[in-house]
C-alpha cells in the first residue's frame, strides 16, 4: 500500500478587520476512489473551489491527480469563507503530486482566487493580512497582482504579485529570488480641493452661519445638524466638508485603507487612501448596512466613514431604530458585532452631518411658503431623532432659503483652500496640545482629565455655562460638548484659554441643535 504525500502552505483570512493565519494541508494518496474532499469547516464558497482548482490546474498545462485528494484548512474550529484559498490549494495539490518542490513553499504566505482559465483574481482584506504576516515573521507573500500595491504598504515583506497559476509556478520554481513589488511613491502630503474633484466652498453664496459651523466642525471633528427648507443648500454645504478637512495622518490612512480593503472597495493597484472618506447612504439603508454586521461581519457605512464624514441626508426619513444604532458608536468611536464564536470590532470614529427639513412638507419657518403640516405630524417627524441622539450633536444650524438676488449678485464665497488652512492650523494646535500618544487628538474626543485641563473656564465663563445649563436644561453630556466646541472656536482664534465670546458662540450653535 503506497503512502500519500502531504504539502502544507500558509494563507490567512479576515474576521472583521483582523487577520488570522490559516494552514492549507493537502494530502494526495492512492487509498480510495479519485475524489477531492475538503475539511476544516469550509463554507459553500470554499467547497466550490474544488471545481475552480481542478479547471485552473488543467488549463495551466498540468494534470490534476486522479487520486484521492484531501484538503484540510486549519484551525478546524473557524469557518472558512471566500475564494482566497483557491491559489494555495492549487499549489498544495501540485506540490503533493510532485510537480512543485515543497521547499519552494517554505516561509511564503499565499492567497488568491482562481478563475477557470487559471487567472488569479483579487481578494479582500489584503492589507490586514499582510500586516499580520509581517508580525508572524513571514518573509514573502504571493498574491494577486491587483492587490500587490496594497500589500506592499507593509514594510519588511517581499510582495510578489501574480496574474495566473502558471506564472506562480514558474516564479516559485525559477531558481531565482522572488521579484518584489514596490509601492508607487506618493507625492505631496495632502490634497488641494478641486485637484481631486472635491466640491469647493467658493460655490456657496450666502449661508454665512452654516459656513462658520462647517469650519468649526472640521477644525474639531464635531457632529453637525443642518435644518432648513428644501433647496436651501443643506446637502450642498455638507458635501463640501471633506474639501476643508486636512489630509489623513499616516496612521489614519492605514486604518482607513484597511477597512476599505476588507470591504472590497479599494480600486485595483490602489495605495493608501490619503483623503478623508465621505459616505452618504440613502435613507432606506438598513440597520446592518449602516453599522455593519451580517453572518460574516462586514464594515457598515459608519466604519467606511472612519476618519471622515458620514452624511445622513433627509435624516428624519431614516427609521428611528436605524438612527438610534448610531448612539453608541458616536460616543465610543467603535462598533462591536458579536457572533457565537467571535466578536468583530470595527473602528467608527466619524463626523456625523445630519441634514433634514423642519417638517414633513419642509416649509415650517420658511418666509416664502406656508407650512401645511399639523402639530402632530411635525412632532412625529421630528421624533425620528431621539433626544439621546440629538444630545450627541455638537452644532446645529438653521439654513434658510437664499433669495434669488443673492444667488445672482453675491460675489463667490471664500474658497475651500483658504478655510482648510485655518482648519489645519487649529488641528495642529490640538495635536501639539494633546501629544502624539492621543488616540484621536481632536477636541471632539476630549474626555476626563484632558477635558478638565484644556477646557477650563474663568469665573465669568463658568457663570455663562451655568446660566445656559439652567435656562435650557442642558444635560452633563451637552455641557461637555459645549466646552469642546468652545475649545475649537478658541483654537480657530489662536487663543490659549476659552473666553466668554467663544463659549457664547458655542451656546448659540448648541441651542440650534437642541
Q: Say if residue 299 is in the same domain as residue 366.
A: yes
The answer to whether residue 1 scores a pLDDT higher than 70 is no
- String of b and e for 449-488 (b: at least 16 CB within 10 Å)? ebbeebbebeeebeebbeebbeeeebeeebebbbbbbbbb
The pLDDT mean for the chain works out to 88
Lowest mean pLDDT among 80-89, 208-217, 402-411: 402-411
Q: Which of 222, 5, 229 is nearest to 100 (CA)?
A: 5
Contact 500, 460 (CB under 8 A): yes
- Residue 102: which pLDDT band, with cuts at 50, 70 and 90? low
Name residues whose C-beta falls within 8 Å of residue 128's C-beta, 6 or more positions apart in sequence.
14, 17, 18, 19, 258, 261, 262
Would 314 be classed as within a structural domain? yes
Rounded to whole angstroms, the Cα distance separating 140 from 108 reads 5
How much is the pLDDT for 32? Answer: 76
Q: What is the pLDDT of residues 170-228, one digit of tens each?
A: 988 876 667 777 766 543 334 433 344 578 898 888 888 999 999 999 999 999 999 99
Q: Say if residue 420 is in the same domain as residue 496.
A: no
Would 177 be classed as within a structural domain? no
Q: Say if residue 95 is in the same domain as residue 231.
A: no
Would 293 be classed as within a structural domain? yes
Secondary structure string (H, E, C) spanning 134-194: HHCCCCEEEEEHHHHHHHCCCCCCEEEEECEHHHHHHHHCCCCCCCCCCCCCCCCCCCCHH
Rounded to whole angstroms, the Cα distance separating 40 from 8 reads 14
CA distances from 482 to 218, 376, 389, 511 (A): 16, 31, 15, 10
Rounded to whole angstroms, the Cα distance separating 323 from 189 reads 35
How much is the pLDDT for 191? Answer: 44
Q: How many domains does the chain have?
A: 3
Q: Say if residue 154 is in the same domain as residue 86.
A: yes
Q: Return left, alpha or beta for 269; rule: phi > 0 is left, psi -120 to 50 is alpha, else beta.
A: left
Burial class (CB in 10 A: 0-12, 13-18, 19+), 208: exposed
Query: Which residue did the predictor score with more confidence, 121 or 199?
Result: 121
Lowest mean pLDDT among 228-242, 276-290, 314-328, 461-475: 461-475
Lowest mean pLDDT among 10-24, 176-190, 414-428: 176-190
Would 487 be classed as within a structural domain? yes
How much is the pLDDT for 3? Answer: 53
Rounded to whole angstroms, the Cα distance separating 482 from 475 reads 11
Q: What is the pLDDT of residues 450-478, one digit of tens each?
A: 888 889 898 898 998 999 888 888 888 88
Query: Which residue did the predictor score with more confidence, 111 or 267?
Result: 111
* Structural domain boundaries, residue 402: 193-435
The answer to whether residue 123 scores a pLDDT higher than 80 is yes
Domain boundary among 435, 468, 501: 435
Would 179 be classed as within a structural domain? no
Q: How many CB atoms lie within 10 A of CB 39?
A: 12
Q: What is the pLDDT of residues 218-240, one digit of tens each?
A: 999 999 999 999 988 899 999 99
Query: Which residue did the predictor score with more confidence, 189 or 137?
Result: 137
> What's this model's pTM, rounded to 2 decimal places?
0.88
The CATH number covering residue 33 comes to: 3.30.230.10
Would 440 be classed as within a structural domain? no
Rounded to whole angstroms, the Cα distance separating 160 from 450 reads 46
The answer to whether residue 105 scores a pLDDT higher than 80 is no
How much is the pLDDT for 178? Answer: 75
Q: What is the pLDDT of residues 348-377, one digit of tens each?
A: 999 999 999 999 998 888 878 889 999 999
Q: Say if residue 302 is in the same domain as residue 334.
A: yes
Q: Say if residue 76 is in the same domain as residue 133.
A: yes
Q: Say if residue 153 is in the same domain as residue 294.
A: no
- Residue 270: which pLDDT band, with cuts at 50, 70 and 90? confident
Q: Say if residue 197 is in the same domain as residue 168.
A: no
For the residues 63-89, what does the mean pLDDT come to?
Answer: 91
Domain boundary among 140, 172, 204: 172
Domain boundary among 107, 140, 172: 172
Omega before 75 within 30 of 0, i.e. cis = yes
The answer to whether residue 31 scores a pLDDT higher than 80 is no
Q: Say if residue 136 is in the same domain as residue 241.
A: no
Q: What is the pLDDT of residues 476-490, one digit of tens each?
A: 888 999 999 999 999
Q: What is the dihedral of CA 493, 495, 501, 502, to 10 degrees?
A: 70
Q: Say if residue 335 is in the same domain as residue 234.
A: yes
The answer to whether residue 250 scores a pLDDT higher than 70 is yes
Q: Say if residue 404 is in the same domain as residue 450.
A: no
Rounded to whole angstroms, the Cα distance separating 240 from 194 reads 11
Name residues whose C-beta falls within 8 Å of residue 185's C-beta, 6 or more positions apart in sequence.
none
Rounded to whole angstroms, the Cα distance separating 395 from 398 reads 10
How much is the pLDDT for 165? Answer: 95
Contact 394, 444 (CB under 8 A): yes
Mark out the alpha helices in 333-382 (DSSP H runs): 375-382
The answer to whether residue 103 scores a pLDDT higher than 90 is no
The CATH number covering residue 254 comes to: 3.40.50.300
Q: Say if residue 400 is in the same domain as residue 471.
A: no
Would 182 be classed as within a structural domain? no
Would 186 be classed as within a structural domain? no
Rounded to whole angstroms, the Cα distance separating 21 from 136 reads 9
Percentage of the residues of the chain whose pLDDT score is greater than 70: 92
For the residues 399-407, what does the mean pLDDT come to?
Answer: 80
CA distances from 15 to 135, 258, 294, 342, 344 (A): 17, 12, 12, 8, 7
Amino acid at each position: 500500500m503506497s503512502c500519500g504525500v502531504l504539502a502544507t502552505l500558509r494563507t490567512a483570512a479576515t474576521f472583521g478587520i483582523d487577520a488570522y493565519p490559516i494552514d492549507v494541508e493537502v494530502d494526495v494518496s492512492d487509498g480510495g476512489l479519485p475524489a477531492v474532499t475538503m475539511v476544516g469547516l469550509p463554507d459553500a464558497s470554499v467547497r466550490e473551489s474544488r471545481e475552480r482548482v481542478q479547471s485552473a490546474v488543467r488549463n495551466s498545462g498540468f494534470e490534476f491527480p486522479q487520486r484521492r485528494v484531501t484538503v484540510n484548512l486549519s484551525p478546524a474550529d473557524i469557518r472558512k469563507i471566500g475564494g482566497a484559498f483557491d491559489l494555495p490549494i492549487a499549489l498544495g495539490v501540485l506540490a503533493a503530486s510532485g510537480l512543485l518542490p515543497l521547499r519552494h513553499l517554505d516561509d511564503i504566505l499565499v492567497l488568491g482566487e482562481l478563475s477557470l482559465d487559471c487567472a488569479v483574481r483579487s481578494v479582500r482584506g489584503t492589507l490586514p493580512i499582510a500586516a499580520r504576516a509581517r508580525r508572524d515573521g513571514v518573509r514573502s507573500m504571493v498574491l494577486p497582482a491587483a492587490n500587490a500595491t496594497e500589500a506592499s504598504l507593509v514594510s519588511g515583506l517581499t510582495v510578489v504579485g501574480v496574474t495566473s497559476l502558471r506564472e506562480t509556478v514558474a516564479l516559485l520554481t525559477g531558481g531565482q529570488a522572488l521579484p518584489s513589488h514596490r509601492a508607487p511613491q506618493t507625492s505631496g502630503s495632502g490634497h488641494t480641493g478641486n485637484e481631486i474633484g472635491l466640491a469647493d466652498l467658493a460655490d456657496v453664496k450666502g449661508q454665512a452661519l452654516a459656513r462658520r459651523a462647517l469650519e468649526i466642525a472640521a477644525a474639531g471633528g464635531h457632529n453637525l445638524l443642518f435644518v432648513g427648507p428644501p433647496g436651501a443648500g443643506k446637502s450642498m454645504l455638507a458635501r463640501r466638508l471633506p474639501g476643508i478637512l486636512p489630509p489623513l495622518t499616516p496612521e489614519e490612512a492605514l486604518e482607513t485603507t484597511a477597512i476599505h480593503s476588507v470591504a472590497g472597495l479599494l480600486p485595483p493597484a490602489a495605495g493608501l487612501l490619503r483623503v478623508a472618506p465621505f459616505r452618504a447612504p440613502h435613507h432606506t439603508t438598513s440597520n446592518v448596512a449602516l453599522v455593519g454586521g451580517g453572518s460574516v461581519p462586514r464594515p457598515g457605512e459608519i466604519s467606511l466613514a472612519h476618519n471622515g464624514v458620514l452624511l445622513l441626508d433627509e435624516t428624519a426619513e431614516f427609521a428611528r431604530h436605524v438612527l438610534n444604532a448610531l448612539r453608541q458608536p458616536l460616543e465610543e468611536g467603535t462598533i462591536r458585532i458579536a457572533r457565537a464564536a467571535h466578536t468583530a470590532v470595527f473602528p467608527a470614529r466619524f463626523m456625523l452631518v445630519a441634514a433634514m427639513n423642519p417638517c414633513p412638507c419642509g416649509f415650517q419657518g420658511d418666509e416664502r411658503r406656508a407650512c401645511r403640516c399639523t402639530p402632530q405630524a411635525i412632532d412625529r417627524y421630528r421624533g425620528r431623532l431621539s433626544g439621546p441622539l440629538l444630545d450627541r450633536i455638537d452644532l446645529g444650524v438653521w439654513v434658510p432659503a437664499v433669495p434669488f438676488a443673492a444667488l445672482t449678485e453675491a460675489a463667490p464665497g471664500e474658497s475651500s483652500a483658504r478655510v482648510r488652512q485655518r482648519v489645519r492650523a487649529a488641528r495642529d494646535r490640538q495635536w501639539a496640545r494633546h501629544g502624539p500618544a492621543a488616540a484621536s487628538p481632536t477636541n471632539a474626543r476630549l474626555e476626563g482629565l484632558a477635558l478638565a485641563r484644556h477646557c477650563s473656564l474663568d469665573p465669568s465663563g463658568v457663570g455663562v455655562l451655568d446660566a445656559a445649563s439652567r435656562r435650557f436644561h442642558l444635560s452633563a453630556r451637552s455641557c461637555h460638548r459645549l466646552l469642546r466646541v468652545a475649545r475649537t472656536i478658541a483654537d480657530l482664534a489662536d487663543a490659549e484659554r476659552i473666553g466668554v465670546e467663544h463659549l457664547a458662540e458655542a451656546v448659540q450653535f448648541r441651542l440650534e441643535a437642541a
